[in-house]
Structure 1
């Protein structure tokens, strides 16, 4: 009878652990666990550790104290602790616990190794990752799908696609995650052709595989291809998730595909998918870049919660439309809401001030960025400030800013500032200063824009000989000019036009004209 009571009491204690809502409840339940005689129960202790690992309501410090007082942790307890540390991104401690586990003569299993491999990937430690890979080989876990996929993820994080492919080929039974990771890895490396081969060869395409390919195109600025892939996905019965919608909205924003963006907004409403901060930000960015600033502003102020990225999207949208005052006011609202600005926030504010001729206000914000927020200016910030001052005609001040750039700056980073200076000089007809900037850029980079800007400036000032000399210099140095490109959306289809490129219809018209002339010549000859 007492045994039954003890069993019933233990069961109630375990049920209490499952019903905990916060750390206070957990501590009370934990006390009951000890009272019931389950203080050394591996299952009960692992449930306590699992609750503490939850980032929303747990306490990692409590979990760590408990773990340190367990005399002989089981593999289950080690795995729970490793998961808790990984969830809190305490990567070094994750590796230390794994090392302690090995030192105590405990062999990792196929649950342990994925946690450790993920920690190696986030630490970007290839040496450590290879050691854990060797451990997986010795224990015979490389063919395990969980360990194998984690190894692929790790090598993709190291940009070692050759090693990732080797692991992929070694796994006897691949799953959708294996294909998804390989597509994402090659996309991240910029190898979209190989990514597409993996997509085409995947035996079954689930939402993850479609999302990886769409995201891969968008992240590599192949926006038209990303939209096309989304339309192919619509022919299947797979419903897009939030990540796919965000990628497609990004493509619409860059292509100016407003009709498609509006359709996606309606589609989201039909699905009754809640507009998360991420989705709302995607819609705001799309509407702003497609010229519908009022719709973007309306969505922004309807949001109950906004993060830094969302504020950045709205400020950038206002900057793009030349509303400097509005962008500055929004920046002040952001500060008042206790949302900390980041690098991108300040780039957006500087751009807004530059377009609106607000040099004084922009410099005050630059000072605040450095002094109040302790953000180290990057090449993009210097480029924006140089553009800001140059547009206001403060060329000497702009040159001083360039000279203030750290000596550790790479040539490509310094070139960003000089390019902004050159562009402003050309726009305001400052030929001598433009030549100084051009000389600097000739040494820093190989870019057609320098030659084109100077050539146009000379031509505008009637110096046609200098303009021809610049074009000859560009040809002699074999600098290729990138063709201009634009796009237009018609009936939810995006068409691209490249300067100098003949469209298929144009070619047909030319062939028709040539045929007509040929017939006329034949007629005249007869």
Structure 2
């Protein structure tokens, strides 16, 4: 177009900028930005929104914010794309401040904020935002339902998940493949495998739901059912992926089936040509050590391919250390700890070794490890858990007792969110520990 002597306008440039973002071509995007400056379109609303989206996609939210602040006439898309940029960078607090300042809040802005909270593991805040949107005149869409159901699955908030499911039914919201998979996920993760299996069987297309069901069965110790479901996958000629095999390795670990775990690892490599990752090795190593097959566990970890990311290798060694600690194998745990400390400086390594010394009666060594943590400035994140009483969720943080509703030395009670009581029995009490 340029070679023909024609100049782009404020309708052409946004599409070219979108193409640069899709191709992840930062250099080409900078060239187009130069054209925007030369032609005077940089402060045009359409072009400015495309530039904000481009720089947000390249994690350069500082430039995106500068463009946003310079656009004279902001529209609802401007607010949505800049909020999405901060969300992608993990700066959820700034995103929320912008959300509060937005003069008009349409479905896109609400969706960006809800999904932003969930993607950044702020699950209770995501559910709270969903409650707020119900008080507005904006109808939730599929993306919002997917986000809040994922939040319920990660928090173990089954009652809230059931309420959202029934709310969707009341609104006659058509369940898509993605939404059905999330519903299966929340029921499976929260332990209601019967309803999860019923929803799974009703799906015309299952896709990722195979992985969801296998993971749910594995999580709740139903390893044999998970393996049978994998056999059904093979029978139906559905190709499994690496996530399927992570779930299967976990299922074998929970059920203590060492032989089946090694067989699955072999099929993964030789039948499906999928190279195992650190998560697979971690599950298999844990399985072998629990079964007392220590020599095979060492052979598996030695056969791991070299990884450019030390944290990948650390996952497998941490599983080995955890298994040694469970078996009170002090000498082997010391070897695994030495290897882990070369890969990472994480508090869990020190805590595991300190615990094994304490359980073996070596209290001096246990104290020495804790002093080593202190001298090296390694801090252990305090444990926390949540409890739901009469539809109200409270959070307890270890060591905190300053709250007016603190329960003795258990910690500080913090109200996270209140569930909609319409579908929840008054005497429901459910406990979920997520750290």
TM > 0.5 fold call: yes
Question: Structure 1 residues 267, 388: CA separation in 2 closer, same or farther (over 3 Å shift)?
Answer: same
Pairing of 1:11-410 with structure 2 (within 5 A): 101-307=1-207, 309-410=208-309
- What is the aligned counterpart of 1:429 among 328, 337, 342? 328
Distance (Å, rounded) in 2 between the aligned partners of 1:168 and 1:130: 17
Whether the 8 Å CA contact 1:257–1:494 is kept in 2: the answer is: no
SS of the residue 1:496 aligns to: strand
The structural deviation recorded for 1:344 is 1.4
The structural deviation recorded for 1:241 is 0.8
Distance (Å, rounded) in 2 between the aligned partners of 1:304 and 1:503: 52
In structure 2, the gaps of 5 or more residues are 410-435
Whether the 8 Å CA contact 2:401–2:408 is kept in 1: the answer is: no
The structural deviation recorded for 1:210 is 1.2
Question: Structure 1 residues 218, 341: CA separation in 2 closer, same or farther (over 3 Å shift)?
Answer: same
The structural deviation recorded for 1:290 is 1.4
Distance (Å, rounded) in 2 between the aligned partners of 1:134 and 1:402: 52
Q: Is 1:441–2:340 an aligned residue pair?
A: yes
Whether the 8 Å CA contact 2:42–2:48 is kept in 1: the answer is: yes
- Which residue number in structure 2 is paired with residue 497 of structure 1? 396
Deviations 1:249-308 (Å, cap 9, x if unpaired)? Answer: 11111212111111101101001111111111111111112121111111110111111x
Question: Structure 1 residues 476, 289: CA separation in 2 closer, same or farther (over 3 Å shift)?
Answer: same
- What is the aligned counterpart of 1:462 among 353, 361, 366? 361
Whether the 8 Å CA contact 2:307–2:313 is kept in 1: the answer is: no
Whether the 8 Å CA contact 1:252–1:260 is kept in 2: the answer is: yes
SS of the residue 2:396 aligns to: strand
Q: Is 1:479–2:378 an aligned residue pair?
A: yes
Distance (Å, rounded) in 1 between the aligned partners of 2:230 and 2:42: 51
Task: Tell me how large the CA RMSD over aligned residues is.
Answer: 1.9
- Which residue number in structure 1 is paired with residue 316 of structure 2? 417
Normalized per residue, which structure has more helix? Answer: 1
SS of the residue 1:505 aligns to: coil
Q: Is 1:453–2:352 an aligned residue pair?
A: yes
SS of the residue 1:488 aligns to: strand
Distance (Å, rounded) in 1 between the aligned partners of 2:2 and 2:257: 62
Question: Structure 1 residues 129, 493: CA separation in 2 closer, same or farther (over 3 Å shift)?
Answer: farther
The structural deviation recorded for 1:380 is 2.0
In structure 1, the gaps of 5 or more residues are 1-100, 511-526
Aligned residue pairs: how many?
409
Deviations 1:75-111 (Å, cap 9, x if unpaired)? Answer: xxxxxxxxxxxxxxxxxxxxxxxxxx33333433333
Distance (Å, rounded) in 2 between the aligned partners of 1:421 and 1:216: 35
- Which residue number in structure 1 is paired with residue 428 of structure 2? none
The structural deviation recorded for 1:419 is 0.3
The structural deviation recorded for 1:503 is 5.4
Superposition TM-score, scaled by structure 2 size? 0.89
Whether the 8 Å CA contact 2:286–2:319 is kept in 1: the answer is: yes
Distance (Å, rounded) in 2 between the aligned partners of 1:507 and 1:334: 49
Whether the 8 Å CA contact 1:256–1:488 is kept in 2: the answer is: no
Distance (Å, rounded) in 1 between the aligned partners of 2:65 and 2:237: 46
Question: Structure 1 residues 123, 373: CA separation in 2 closer, same or farther (over 3 Å shift)?
Answer: farther
The structural deviation recorded for 1:134 is 1.2
| Structure with bigger gyration radius | 1
Superposition TM-score, scaled by structure 1 size? 0.74
SS of the residue 2:2 aligns to: helix
